Structure 1
């Protein structure tokens, strides 16, 4: 079975930096047409440069929490590439939560960013995938990959809101996988930890000793770069995983094999 995504069209959100950027670049290097999407237009322009009709890389900047922005993202992708075959929901936000602060609204913020954006974009992209498949039951209609975290199953009170949003995203992945399977759309996720996300990079600037704590609780003894996820996501996007749906693939250097509550779930 082929791992190839050559000639496919992918939307990758969160593509201005970190893990999302690594995946978008990887897809482009593997021959896919890629729409880099993010809120940060400056970073997108820097990464993608000026693009013209026919270029395999395009970018879209906007607030993906807005329904109209999501519709415009899909329209821009169809205008540029005529179709969409792969959606990677990589736009994620991470915040610390005070579990005892009744005024803390981080959970609401994180559910809006990490769950609702992914759900709404998945819904409109799935409808497009179904429409463009023209009822051809011999071909897959498309695949959706949600980037999640091992925080969804590992308890760290300071990441209460983030953990809940990731757990909700994992359940959304499973539910949508069942709902979309008859339409030949596969929905999977990648739960990662011990990977250098943009958020973790910022945290380590403020707390350098945090690196040693993460490494000590990771059997492979290191924090991986964002590129550690790219092959896993390509696998889920390709026909090599053609009989997989509703699965959360863990990429964490063995971190989830250990279970102390106080260990960082990054």
Structure 2
């Protein structure tokens, strides 16, 4: 067995939005590598052992504080927080009303604030404290029909940097991952609602230089790296997992 296989032995992690998609892949990977892992989500019916579970709503401060406190008590502490809970939105600035703006920002930005705030007292007691936020390519690239979503993820990127600066001297590392378009349940729902799902999938795949969507497991692997004690010198970093979408400018393929 390699050292990587059990690199989280003795560590405890909390993953928000961990019942499906990127969060579920992350929770299962951390558990497979030795961590005690609690999933915090609105619907935890499908969460099975070895994962632990707490129902929690990241828009409700009391709910978050109770879930974090009870999870840390059951696991004997908290070393890793993965702020992954989030929702999507489509449209230009004309298309989403104020209520939707407030709701998406409440989940995607303030949800991370509430969970981190509740976790900090526990993280301060850890020798390997790490926070990893799920950001997005939408924070660093102008994507059509993503004004609200992009604004929320831009805030997550800035929040990550500010948190990293605030807590570095407490021994708490803070980083984020910036996935490209990932093959998750939310994207699946967007495709199902499209007039031509096959054409829409092809368009989403084509805008990533690899020519395919990012998998949840690939994003989970990046999160696991940033959360690992092996990344002890890495903080205030955004790690793109986007199939080259942010940095590469390919010439058209030759026919």
Considering the TM-score relative to the shorter chain, is it more than 0.5?
yes
Q: 1:252 to 1:103 in 2, by over 3 A?
A: closer
Are residue 248 (structure 1) and residue 238 (structure 2) matched? yes
2:39 is matched with 36
CA distance in 2, matches of 1:112, 1:202: 22
Are residue 12 (structure 1) and residue 5 (structure 2) matched? no
Q: Which runs of 5+ in 1 are unaligned?
A: 50-55, 134-138, 260-266
Q: 1:230 to 1:87 in 2, by over 3 A?
A: same
Q: 1:85 to 1:166 in 2, by over 3 A?
A: same
| C-alpha distance after superposition, 1:78-113 (max 9, x if no partner) | 221110000000101001134225744322111100
**How far does residue 59 in structure 1 lie from its aligned partner after superposition?**
0.3
CA distance in 2, matches of 1:47, 1:57: 7
| C-alpha distance after superposition, 1:126-170 (max 9, x if no partner) | 22221x24xxxxx44x00000010001211342111100000011
Are residue 205 (structure 1) and residue 195 (structure 2) matched? no
**How far does residue 24 in structure 1 lie from its aligned partner after superposition?**
0.8
Are residue 189 (structure 1) and residue 192 (structure 2) matched? no
1:165 is matched with 152
**How far does residue 31 in structure 1 lie from its aligned partner after superposition?**
1.2
CA distance in 2, matches of 1:105, 1:97: 14
Q: 1:103 to 1:238 in 2, by over 3 A?
A: closer
The two structures have a TM-score, normalised by structure 1, of 0.86
What is the root-mean-square deviation in Å for CA atoms of aligned residues?
A: 1.9
Where 2:110 maps in the other structure, the secondary structure is helix
Where 1:224 maps in the other structure, the secondary structure is coil
* Residues 16 and 36, structure 1, Cα contact 8 Å, conserved in 2: yes
| C-alpha distance after superposition, 1:49-103 (max 9, x if no partner) | 6xxxxxx521011222101011111121122111000000010100113422574
Are residue 147 (structure 1) and residue 134 (structure 2) matched? yes
CA distance in 1, matches of 2:240, 2:92: 27
The two structures have a TM-score, normalised by structure 2, of 0.89
CA distance in 2, matches of 1:238, 1:102: 38
Where 2:57 maps in the other structure, the secondary structure is coil
Aligned runs of 1:113-124 on 2, under 5 Å? 113-124=107-118
- Tell me how many residue pairs correspond in the alignment: 243
Are residue 77 (structure 1) and residue 67 (structure 2) matched? no
| Aligned residue among 218, 226, 230 for 2:216 | 226
CA distance in 2, matches of 1:23, 1:102: 31
2:46 is matched with 46
Q: Which runs of 5+ in 2 are unaligned?
A: 250-255
CA distance in 2, matches of 1:95, 1:180: 31
| C-alpha distance after superposition, 1:9-63 (max 9, x if no partner) | 00001011111111111111111100011011xxx222326xxxxxx52101122
* Residues 148 and 189, structure 1, Cα contact 8 Å, conserved in 2: yes
